[in-house]
Amino acid sequence: MTQTCLVTGGAGFIGCAISDALTAAFDTVVAVDNLHPQIHKTGARPAALNERVELIVADVTEPGTWDEVLAKHRPDTVIHLAAETGTGQSLTEATRHAQVNVVGTTRMLDALAARGIVPQRIVLSSSRAVYGEGEWLDAQGKGHYPGQRSAQMLEQGQWDFPGLRSQPFRCAHTKPAPTSVYGATKLAQEHILSAWCLAFGTGLNILRLQNVYGPGQSLTNPYTGIVSLFARMAKAGKSIPLYEDGHMLRDFVFIDDVAAAIVAAATSDKSGILADIGTGDSLSIAQLASVIGDIYQAPPPHVTGQFRNGDVRHAACDVSATRDTLGWTPQVDAATGARRLCEWIDQRPEQLERL
């Protein structure tokens, strides 16, 4: 029996990274992507997208898109990547984020239901942004959810929550509490898909991704990709500016590891998976800047004290449960991945000249 996989946002960074493996696993792979100019400057089909993938250039928020797609294909598996990203951007462009992330999801589901198409499985690429600040422990080991840092806190340079220590996110334990519009829309995606899949009998696997980076990511999108931003600045011989005090923690997970996790979730016999996808380790922004600065022998990074509303102080995850539920283990540490990204950037001087 032939199997069809539909990938929304399938011409993006992650969509291209999974395309080779998907064409090996499925008879037909269809990517739906609007080739947004924030990511795709020229509007051309990405060279990294496997040639066997059928690309339909269309907007997931438009009903006509689904008329076109579902008239030709009945997907057995759907990988839902299409999303507007960017924590800070979402606070000033909330409608656009809600339109793509929430309405785009419901348009797809309504179209499937209207045609009686019930996929065997849907895989959602969710985000660590659903957790917000997550859980913090006090000196007695009691858990607290301090919520979003206020504008007053940030303006006064109060970066942490006094007397509390941040904890790695664990999907089975940490309560979602988004601090950005983007995070709220990703959590809404999870809830919408959970309700629909339960009602229609479709298996659902949700992966909450940490900070994804690596070769293939956009070098022109100003709202994503702090690793590539740091690399471009260091390559130009500049000192990397550090927001807040430079001690914010992040879990930087390499694109190859993320691709492997998504393909595993799409091809696994298991359904009902909710998993954190990261390295299980964290680096401070200052540590990341030093690693990248050393690669290019750039001046030392410097602290600016600037901040971005909606940003969380620390974000890291525990992947021990993911190893068991998904049979997946990250392979690339942040230092190795940063070097690989820098090597890739070094091979593209023409793109840097346009920045």
Answer yes or no: 145 catalytic.
no
- Quick check: 130 and 123 in contact, CB under 8 A? no
Q: Tell which residue, 74, 222, 249, has the closest CA to residue 167.
A: 249
Pairing of strands 203-209, 274-277: parallel
Q: How far apart are CA 36 and CA 16, in angstroms?
A: 15
- Quick check: 204 and 122 in contact, CB under 8 A? yes
Pairing of strands 28-33, 241-242: unpaired
Read off the amino acid at residue 167. Answer: Q
How large is the angle between the packed helices 334-346 and 285-296, nearest 10 degrees?
Answer: 40
Q: Tell which residue, 174, 168, 198, 200, has the closest CA to residue 187.
A: 174
Read off the amino acid at residue 313. Answer: R
Residue 305 has a CB neighbour count (10 Å cut-off) of 13
Q: Which of 182, 223, 243, 296 is catalytic?
A: 182
Q: How far apart are CA 333 and CA 32, in angstroms?
A: 31
Q: Tell which residue, 83, 53, 58, 52, has the closest CA to residue 70.
A: 58
Q: How far apart are CA 304 and CA 307, in angstroms?
A: 9
Query: Which residues, in sequence order, are CB contacts of 347 under 8 Å at separation 6+?
Result: none
- Quick check: 213 and 254 in contact, CB under 8 A? yes
Residue 116 has a CB neighbour count (10 Å cut-off) of 8
Q: Tell which residue, 250, 308, 306, has the closest CA to residue 91.
A: 308
Instruction: Indicate which residues carry an active-site annotation.
Output: 182
